[in-house]
Structure 1
Amino acid sequence: MSWIPLGARTVPADPACVRPVRRWLAGLLAGRSPCVREITDDAVLLLSETLTNAVRYGSGPTVTCSVALLPDALHIEVTNRAGATLPHFVHDADAEHGRGLPILDALARAWGYRVLLQDHLSVWCEIETGRGR
């Protein structure tokens, strides 16, 4: 599988960093092909959700976001020091929080997480671009 890294950014684990990272991703995708640009809104939303969860539930001082282009998808990955819980669905439609993973599940063609060495967690998703068809 060919994998083209588009960029990575490490930011403080602070809610104020979510907006600049969304802008960074939008700018990164703006110069790509039309089939990549058309998924920018979904990509920005999914990065925002995964980054917000990493900031809210992680325990480390920083979070790293990386983006790569696959033959037919955009791969987004957010890595941080894991908190006390792993990603899981909240089954309460009236809950104030817990909508991030259902959004990820609805918009991504695939998503998941990996527990890495030194207590780090990486949450990833892929958004189909229509390339390679």
Structure 2
Amino acid sequence: MIGVSDSAAAAAPEPGPADVRRRGRISGAPSAEWSFPADPGAVRTARTMVRQVLDDWGLNGAADVAVLLVSELVTNSLRYASGPIGVRMVLLGAGALLIEVSDPLPDPPRTRTAAPDDEGGRGLQLVAHSSRRWGTRQGKSGKTVWFELAVAG
């Protein structure tokens, strides 16, 4: 998929210390960032924190989709990678919200075709169909799966 932009991707910092919420500005854009241990409780905590930030930013209308997609990506990271999971949100201009989920596994995720009775295998398809655009990039310490949502704010 087409990336947000090479400069935006290159400017993305590595996730911070475990369970530390850091709000600040990156290139003038409001952002929030967390790192979670590879623990099943990370999914619930990530959903809660994403919803809270969107509420703080006045973007409640994007919360359900954002929380669902973050939940899918953090779950994938838990399933396939061992190590910290980073979640980063950046409110871009032009009504766009960028959300990234990073983990130490260097392999890019694979889109699967799930059978009707399969319990899994639909997460990336859900991300692809629910976001404006999405993609992956590799970094020195793993990979990042990102998606962009249209937001009104």
Aligned to 2:70: 47
Aligned to 1:123: 145
Q: 1:9 aligns with which of 34, 38, 49?
A: 34
Does the C-alpha gap of structure 1 residues 103 and 12 become closer, same or farther in structure 2, counting only changes over 3 Å? Answer: same
Asked if 1:64 is matched to 2:86, the reply is yes
Aligned to 1:29: 54
CA distance in 2 between counterparts of 1:29 and 1:130 reads 11
In the superposition, the TM-score normalised over structure 2's length comes to 0.75
CA distance in 2 between counterparts of 1:114 and 1:45 reads 21
8 A Cα contact 2:113 2:122, kept in partner: no
For residues 47-76 of structure 1, what are the alpha-carbon distances to aligned partners after superposition, in whole Å with 9 as ceiling and x for unaligned?
Answer: 1111111111113x2111100101111110
**Higher normalized contact order (CA 8 Å, seq sep 6+, divided by chain length):** 1
Q: 2:99 aligns with which of 76, 82, 94?
A: 76
Aligned length: 126
Segments of 5+ residues of structure 2 without an aligned counterpart are 1-7, 9-26
CA distance in 1 between counterparts of 2:115 and 2:70 reads 22
Segments of 5+ residues of structure 1 without an aligned counterpart are none
Kindly, what percent of the aligned residue pairs are identical? 34
